[in-house]
Structure 1
Amino acid sequence: MSEVVKKEVEKLKAPGMIYHISDSPWVSPVHVVPKKGGITVMKNEKNELIPTRNVTGWRICIDYRRLNQATRKDHFPLPFIDQMLERLAGQASIEPSLRSSCEAS
């Protein structure tokens, strides 16, 4: 498994997407899980048919739970689309106000 992780890390380091950090309290654990392929039915020692997943590759997963616990939450979350549509439902048209704001700039 460590070879899979090393290969993936080198692939991300090459274009500069990630970089080495020597020591940090925010380093998160890395897990390697098999990518889901298809399912093959095979016989076991007792001649029973058992569905088995085909492993087509490996997926690198990072556990950010500790970092998420330490992160300050956003006090002004973005509204849901249904809330925005409800606010706009009473408006005759939003186009004139959009045009005036575009012309002002």
Structure 2
Amino acid sequence: MGEPCVSCTKTVWDDCHEKPIRRIQNSWRVCIDYRRLNQASRKDHFPFLPFIDQVLRKLAGKFHYCFLDGFLGYMKIHIAPKDQHKTSFTCPFGTFAYSRMPFGLCNALSTFQRCMINIFSNLLQDCMEVFMDDFTVYANSFDACLGNLSKVLKRCIDTNLVLNF
């Protein structure tokens, strides 16, 4: 990913209650309570997630499917420098602010889904469905499904969208 997702800061917007949690994988994950920031944020009412029954109807009758899972997709979305201080948090290692979108912000889901729809816009009607960072590629034949998968993977490469394996 290149540059770090958080940086040290002297600006404290830290109204949040954060708690570093030790994970089994021997890495840290900071859980931040952004409720006060979310209350002050203008809500983005983008119709972000498709209804599951609509997705199932769209996929019904298809014979071949591929399922892909995005990796750290939120961390690909930059926060404007003038707003980064609003994500600041304090932990035992200092005070930091996110330079990329963390989980917990009220508009993060809408922002991320809008980005995914923009990235895959011309593929959504014909060969794939996007549900946050989960992608379903489909077709009636195996060869067509591989062709569709190739298009989706190329788009991921072209836009630096990383997938889990």
Question: Normalising TM by the smaller chain, what interval?
Answer: 0.3 to 0.5
TM-score w.r.t. length of structure 1:
0.34
Which is bigger in relative contact order (C-alpha 8 A, separation at least 6)? 2
Larger strand fraction of residues? 1
Please tell me whether Structure 1 or Structure 2 has the larger radius of gyration of its CA atoms: 1
Please report the TM-score for the alignment, with normalisation by the length of structure 2. Answer: 0.25
